[in-house]
Amino acid sequence: MDLSETMNRITGDDAIIWRQGHLYLLDQRKLPGEVVFLELNTAAETARAITDMVVRGAPAIGITAAYGVVLAGAMAFRSSADQWQAAIQADLEQLRRSRPTAVNLFWALKRMGALLEGLPRGADPTDALLREAIAIHKEDIRANRDMGELGASLIEAGSGVITHCNAGALATGGYGTALGVIRSAHKRGLIREVFADETRPWLQGARLTAWELLQDGIPVTLLADGAAAHRMAQGGIDWIVVGSDRIAANGDVANKIGTYSLAVAAKHHGVKVMVAAPTSTIDMELASGSEIPIEVRGEEELLGCGGRRVAANGAGVWNPVFDVTPADLVDAIVTERGVATSPNRKKIEKMMANRPESP
């Protein structure tokens, strides 16, 4: 497929594209220097793209996995029309193993799996699976816009904000979670200044968040991760606004490594912390953040930068890519169903029970 026209006007909202039986992902590893789409035709390729960080961000991972199930169903039916339900299982398991922390992955696969169970044997599952994947994609965009408005309502005029990692359109189906809040607040004229942590070692803040904000005409100032506390000490920072990859039932939040230290510094400086995430990110089966599995990635991510080794030979590496921020350091969790201030289990349960009417 010729994506040249799309590439000329690409934004983060166009990062996941389904067209004519193929899945196209904007390769986030190449941004902002290159706009490159990868064409995916199998569940195995989709799982590899998730593992290799072509796509990242919990909601985007879930949406991508849902489309991966569509590819798996189509291939399973072509290979064995009468036994496709059995043939698809290996592909589903490969998708499950692609990333361990982002609960949206498992949520999306569970939803697609429930649909699979109700489909008749011998019938081509592709169209039904595609309708469900598209529904998941559209629901996420709608949820992000709702979150943006709810989160913006907490921000006062003239506010300075710091965000960490990338929780924008690139990390979701479109519009973004944390950046959705920032987008909505900026449209209302509420935000004076946006700071983005670089977010090592993958530099999602420097490469992706800065790119998205500039695409929207929102000025952004980059910070080294270690500079955030010093910047708070200068004054003028009112909110830390971040996304999440998994939220436990008590309000503990797993997000990109460095979020916990940012929240600790915010507490000391009287800066509020907002977490914006869809309810598909909330895992009510986990009582607290101590039960959230934390992915540890390869040592090469810390030993080098830009394909060049920078660390001393012989240095050991510990590379967790997420950390857990306790609920008592979070001032507000914003979802499409509402806002939980000073979150705890009771408030999270109440919010999860609040199902907005379908439009």
Is 28 annotated as ligand-binding? no
Q: Which of 27, 245, 252, 331 is catalytic?
A: 245
DSSP type of residue 97: T
* Residue indicated by tokens 């490469």: 207
3-state SS class at 56: coil
For residue 338, what are the β-bridge partners?
Answer: 335
**H or E element, residue 162:** strand 159-163
Residue whose C-alpha is closest to residue 146's, from 190, 189, 177: 177
Distance CA 197, CA 152 (A): 20
Is 56 annotated as ligand-binding? yes
Is 138 annotated as ligand-binding? no
Is 308 annotated as ligand-binding? no
Distance CA 8, CA 335 (A): 33
Is 204 annotated as ligand-binding? yes
Amino acid at 285: E
Told to judge if 245 belongs to the known catalytic residues of this protein, a careful annotator would answer yes
Is 58 annotated as ligand-binding? yes
Distance CA 285, CA 317 (A): 32
CB 38 within 8 Å of CB 27: yes
Residues with a known catalytic role? 245
Binding residues: 56-58, 99, 204, 255-256
Binding residues for substrate: 56-58, 99, 204, 255-256
